[in-house]
Amino acid sequence: MALHTIAAHVRQLSRPLSVLRAATTMSTNHVLLLGGSGKVARLLTPMLLHQSWDVTSIIYNPDQIADLKQLGVNQNGKLNVLVRSLEDIKNETDAKRLIDEIKPSYVVWSAGAGGKGAPERTEAIDRDAAIHCIRASIASPYITKFVMISFNGCRYEKPPWIDETHWQEYLKVTRNHYQRYYEAKLPADEVLYVEGKKRKDFAGICLRPGRLSMEPVGKVSLGKFPRVEGYTSRASLAYTAALLLDSHNKNCWLDILDGDEDPEAAVKRCIEEEVDCAEGEYFY
């Protein structure tokens, strides 16, 4: 089934099925999905499975196993659900042990405390465990892509393409309310970018949405655009992540909001133009 045909089906379904090329009889990719019980991960999982990719979904609550396994019913790929606590990943060795157990070809980080609970928990998961998993993934030659789900205001400096007044208003109204989350996420985003560039056959892709909504897959603004504030459909985010896993092989940050461009066209454009929203940061 052609990409645009699959996309039409995805837009009509409450649970998206696939956003990639036609399913094959054999699985060629294995995705380690960290934070598999989250809303974005639940949308992404069946998309990948329908494509005959295998998915190992990491969750921390054993009560969610049966529910998560329903995402793998009547799919082309295999779904494995493992119960692990990311808080237990205290160093790169712990992360490497988990990765070597699964041996994925790609990793998706869709986990996090999100600033909820004790500050130590956000730091332990969103910063420390994420960094350990990134470093361990880069050190594993069989892993060639790592997609980090972050947010578009997670940066040290104002993007050069954003108006100063708009940026200051965004900081005041939105980002300052998530200061703890921002301070934990940003070091992980930086490590993925800086360390990912050191391996020529590795793509560290940081996908950076705005405020998340439960709208169906729709058109997007992907890359550099003159606003930060805005909504991003979780389904569009998952859809775009799947497209990037399937096609993008460059280290980059990509901001994503609801917009006016088909996701397939947006991803193709960003690949061809080598768009990188890390521009303006000191390590760019």
Domain assignment present for residue 282? The answer is no
Instruction: Establish if 283 belongs to a structural domain.
Output: no
pTM: 0.91
**Residue pLDDT, tens place only, 67-122:** 999 999 999 999 999 999 999 999 999 999 999 999 999 999 999 866 566 778 99
Domain annotation covers residue 43: yes
Residue 134 half-sphere exposure, CB side, CA atoms within 13 Å? 32
- pLDDT > 70: what percent of the chain? 89
Q: What is the CATH number of the domain that holds 50?
A: 3.40.50.720
Is residue 279, in this structure, part of any structural domain at all? no
Q: How do residues 242-266 score in pLDDT, each as one tens digit? A: 999 999 999 999 999 999 999 999 9
**Contacts for 210-218 with beta carbons within 8 Å, 24 or more apart?**
210/151, 210/152, 210/256, 210/257, 210/258, 211/174, 212/39, 212/40, 212/237, 213/258, 214/39, 215/258, 216/11, 216/12, 216/13, 216/14, 217/7, 217/10, 217/11, 217/16, 217/19, 217/263, 218/11, 218/258
Is 278 a domain residue?
no
Report the pLDDT value the prediction gives residue 116, as an integer from 0 to 100.
64
Spatial CA neighbour of 92 closest among 134, 60, 126, 122: 134
Show the domain range for 55.
3-273
**Strand ranges in 120-166 using DSSP code E only, listed in sequence order:** 145-149
- Is residue 281 domain-resident? no
Report if residue 280 sits inside a domain.
no
Task: For residue range 18-72, list pLDDT tens digits in order.
Answer: 444 444 444 479 999 999 999 999 999 999 999 999 999 999 999 999 999 999 9
Q: Count up the domains in the chain and report the number.
A: 1
Tell me how many helices (H) and strands (E) the chain has: 10, 10
24 lies in some domain: yes
Structure tokens at 167: 């940026």
